[in-house]
Amino acid sequence: MTIPVSLEVVRTIAEREEIDPATLDPPLHDAVDPDALDAVFESTPGADRTDGQIRFEYAGYAVTVFADHSVSVEASDASTREHPPRDDSGDLDPNE
């Protein structure tokens, strides 16, 4: 039996964050309905889904779930905007 894609999403992001999946915040259901996500790629007799993908933002990542149940996570552009790179030059006032 394959792992539901919703659990694979949580596991993949928790692994990337190096935390326990149970402590991932916010919960997945804040971004997407886990049952609906699993249902989209659920195998049915004689009708396995062979193509398609779903993309959504979750926990600072752009998540893509593929028909083969693989999951890709990349840092979200939105999280980059929320946390711009720090200026570690030591200057307190960039106008000086």
pLDDT of residue 78: 59
Contacts of 26 by beta carbon, 8 Å cutoff, 6+ apart: 59
Map residue 12 onto helix, strand or coil.
Answer: helix
Q: How far is CA 12 from CA 17, 31, 60, in A?
A: 9, 15, 13
CA angle 83, 60, 19 (to 5 degrees): 105
User: What is the value of pTM for the model shown?
Assistant: 0.73
| pLDDT score of 16 more than 70 | yes
The mean per-residue pLDDT over the stretch 63-79 comes to 87
pLDDT at 22 over 90: yes
Whether 26 has a pLDDT exceeding 50, the answer reads yes
Binned at pLDDT 50, 70 and 90, residue 2 comes out as confident
Domain assignments of the chain as residue spans, ordered by start: 5-82
